[in-house]
Structure 1
Amino acid sequence: MKQRLVFPRQLVCVGMISRPQVLLYSFLLFTFLLSPIAAGAADITQQLHRPLNSSVGRQSRDEADSLLTIGKQQYASGYADKTIVSCLQALELYHSIGDLKAQGLTYNLLAKAYIQLGSSKEAEDALRRGLAIARDTKDFQTQIFVLNNIGTFLLQQGESAAAGKILEDALAIARGVKNIEGEGLSLSNLGLVTARLGDYNKAIKLYENALLFRRQTGDAIGEANTLNNLGDAYLASGNYQDTIATYGEAMQTAKTSRDRTNELRAIDGLVKAHTAVGRYERAFDLLEQRLALAKELQNLREELKSFESYAQVYKQQGNYLTARNFYERAIILARTLEDSEQEVQLRDQLTQMLQRK
């Protein structure tokens, strides 16, 4: 509220007062105008979060955007710990310029990095902070996607019932605002919950329904992801013919859109399916493609997974000498990545194999 200066009526007639009094009143008025006016708490908060000037704000945004881009690259390369450092720095800058949407995106990436490192408490905190921002800004689309992230996170933690409830909420919002992309994603993730509960037939129907929505939006990445989920359900139910066909479609879709994550996942599914029916040569062809792709991406973690898969297929074939060679190569990469937990698991697999020879 603006301050109004109110003077006594008798001050209007200057001629009725002496010159010293005029000087005194002038001095008091001058002093009053120079005195600071107390700001409300809300005003102070706005000032604290307002950039000093546009150039400083622009510089901070550019730096934050750069950090977020670097974080995405680090995550794609398997360096979750470095991703976290970049995200936390970006968050501080986004907070200083009051960009809530960018904060939400950064929390999402931060959560993924924490999940990769197995830091479940920090991951859930980051996800829920992102959801709070989406709710505060009434951003329904972001709410749908963050709820799906929380649902899949809870599923990974073994909390299938809680995950199902969260995903039903996401589906309800998507249907309420007629968000086709959100419907496809939510149905696909509900399929994951159903598959985890062992109802593969129902999961397959959910995935097939999800594909209808994902194809409507031309979401090639989402389509490849759901196809991989569908392939997983067919594989779990022992339907190898449909498994191979579905993973094959997922691999082609991912390759066309240069979606390396889903391409690698489809290859992994195909390797399992072909190995299960004794088609070892085809499995080795696929693993050769996988290793080449991992090297192209310069992703040591995916190279490690390729070596481990080679070892497992050779072990199943009974070629223990070659299997040992690939286990040892995988162990070297685990040590390079400073992943002691992975190294221990690989050594255990190698030891168990050698004891069974």
Structure 2
Amino acid sequence: MKHQKLVPGQKNLLSFVLAVGNLTGNSRILSAWGLLILLGGLATPPGVSATDLTRQLHQPNSIRNTPFTSPWMGRETRDWADQRVRIAEEYLRANTPSKALDALLPALEVYHHQGDLRSQGLTYELMGRAYVALGRHKEAENAIRRRLGIARDTGDLQQQVFALNNIGTFLLQQGDADLAARDAFAEALQIANRIKSAEGQGLSWSNLGLAAARLGEYNKAIKFYETALTYRRQVRDPLGEANTYNNLGDAYFATGDYQNTIAAYGRALRLANASRDRINELRSIDGLVAAHVSVERYERAFELLAQRLNLAKQMQNLPEQLLSFESYARTYERLGKYQTARNFYERAAIIARNLQDSKKEVQLLDRITQIRNRRG
């Protein structure tokens, strides 16, 4: 979903950030998975762990490469399909959604043949993620709604909570169904309250905060985020807690409350750093830079930018390195130090060329041209 609209608070932050460094560049937050994290994420109930998956993929008798030829006729039918689902999860983690779909579609055929609704539900959920990543919106919505339908048919209230949050998240991404998204989150919260699911309550309250912010109700959003945090701490969900703190920072930024903005992003940064959650770590740094520049604390902003660039280099992530250089350039340009800004733009342009991102390279070269005759 490359052109998803942000909530009003995020729009304001993004507009400001573009003025000081494109700090929420679309190689991260506006990428499919980064975006989902920003919006609360397509929820994932507890299931197969990454450790289990890795172990199974490396078993000597793994059937990972078994061809798909009438698998329901053999003894390993269920194992075969389950293996495809686990492999699909691995492909999604590796950001190769098309390969994930190649694994999921035959597995789904097996589950349909066997009438296994529970496994169909999980498969549809993963298919929804893959379609989201590929920008295939109609197929994504169909898969996500099928997942909810199965949860309702089987009376699985916990899965209904996650599925409703997924639908609400999807609707927010479409940009024109904010009220419908809010209703989905509210229904999810109602069910989570009924079954006393702290995980579902935390997720639903956080997503209700996003919906409120989208509607310009920032004070209400702040209250929702703060409520969400109590549940996310209760279930010891550092990734979810860091995400909610970042959302809270966005809401405070939208209200111009920079002291609380910095406090919220700071908590997110500490949590993300401790859990090695790089996406939220980068996002919180970006928010802190924007907030500190807003109050003209440039020394602290540059310290954070150095931290950001170091992190991007450790990750060997060229797109994030590009964003770091561009952020430096915008900040120096704001200070009127045009020659230094130009140097950073040139370094960013080199990376864009190496990434074969011609559109970004043209934008950067245009910016260089605009400041070439300035002095600073």
- Give the shorter-chain TM-score range: 0.7 to 0.9
Select 2:93's aligned residue among 61, 69, 72: 72
Structure 1 partner of 2:168: 151
Structure 2 partner of 1:58: 79
1:146-205 CA-partner distances (Å, limit 9, x unpaired): 322322232233222222122112212212222111111111111111112222211111
Structure 1 partner of 2:129: 109
Q: Highest Rg: 1 or 2?
A: 1
RMSD of aligned residue pairs (Cα, Å): 2.7
Q: In the TM superposition, what is the alpha-carbon distance from 1:353 to its structure 2 partner?
A: 5.4
Correspondence 1:247-258 to 2 at 5 A: 247-258=265-276
Between the aligned partners of 2:355 and 2:125, the Cα distance in structure 1 is 27
Q: Is the 8 A contact 1:50 1:96 kept in 2?
A: no
Q: Which runs of 5+ in 2 are unaligned?
A: 1-68, 112-118
1:236-260 CA-partner distances (Å, limit 9, x unpaired): 1111111111111111011112211
One-letter identity of the residue aligned with 2:110: I
Q: In the TM superposition, what is the alpha-carbon distance from 1:305 to its structure 2 partner?
A: 2.5
Deviates further, 177-186 or 156-165: 156-165
Between the aligned partners of 2:367 and 2:193, the Cα distance in structure 1 is 47
Deviates further, 274-283 or 140-149: 140-149
After superposition, the Cα gap between the structure-2 partners of 1:179 and 1:49, relative to the gap in structure 1 and judged at 3 Å, is farther
Q: Is the 8 A contact 1:275 1:283 kept in 2?
A: yes
Q: Which runs of 5+ in 1 are unaligned?
A: 1-47, 75-82
One-letter identity of the residue aligned with 2:250: D
1:255-295 CA-partner distances (Å, limit 9, x unpaired): 11221111111111101011111112211221222222223
Identity level (%)? 54
Select 2:149's aligned residue among 132, 138, 143: 132
Q: Is the 8 A contact 1:64 1:93 kept in 2?
A: no
Is 2:105 aligned against 1:85?
Answer: no
Q: Is the 8 A contact 1:228 1:247 kept in 2?
A: yes
Is 2:297 aligned against 1:279?
Answer: yes
Q: Is the 8 A contact 1:104 1:131 kept in 2?
A: no
Structure 1 partner of 2:38: none
Structure 2 partner of 1:198: 216
Q: In the TM superposition, what is the alpha-carbon distance from 1:109 to its structure 2 partner?
A: 2.7
Q: Flag the structure with higher helix content.
A: 1
1:37-57 CA-partner distances (Å, limit 9, x unpaired): xxxxxxxxxxx9862223355
Between the aligned partners of 1:341 and 1:172, the Cα distance in structure 2 is 45
User: Helix, strand or coil: the match of 1:100?
Assistant: helix
Deviates further, 330-339 or 219-228: 330-339
Structure 2 partner of 1:95: 108
User: Helix, strand or coil: the match of 1:54?
Assistant: coil
Between the aligned partners of 1:52 and 1:321, the Cα distance in structure 2 is 70
Structure 1 partner of 2:200: 182
Q: Is the 8 A contact 2:87 2:100 kept in 1?
A: no
Q: Would you say how many aligned residue pairs link Structure 1 and Structure 2?
A: 299
Between the aligned partners of 1:64 and 1:352, the Cα distance in structure 2 is 51
Between the aligned partners of 1:133 and 1:352, the Cα distance in structure 2 is 56
Select 2:329's aligned residue among 287, 311, 314: 311
Please, what TM-score do these two structures have when normalized by structure 2? Answer: 0.71
Q: Is the 8 A contact 1:111 1:127 kept in 2?
A: no
Between the aligned partners of 2:174 and 2:362, the Cα distance in structure 1 is 22
User: Helix, strand or coil: the match of 1:298?
Assistant: coil
Deviates further, 337-346 or 162-171: 337-346
Q: Is the 8 A contact 2:84 2:104 kept in 1?
A: no
After superposition, the Cα gap between the structure-2 partners of 1:150 and 1:339, relative to the gap in structure 1 and judged at 3 Å, is farther
Correspondence 1:176-255 to 2 at 5 A: 176-255=194-273
Q: In the TM superposition, what is the alpha-carbon distance from 1:310 to its structure 2 partner?
A: 2.0
Q: Is the 8 A contact 2:91 2:97 kept in 1?
A: no
Q: Is the 8 A contact 2:88 2:104 kept in 1?
A: no
Between the aligned partners of 2:153 and 2:225, the Cα distance in structure 1 is 32
One-letter identity of the residue aligned with 2:228: A
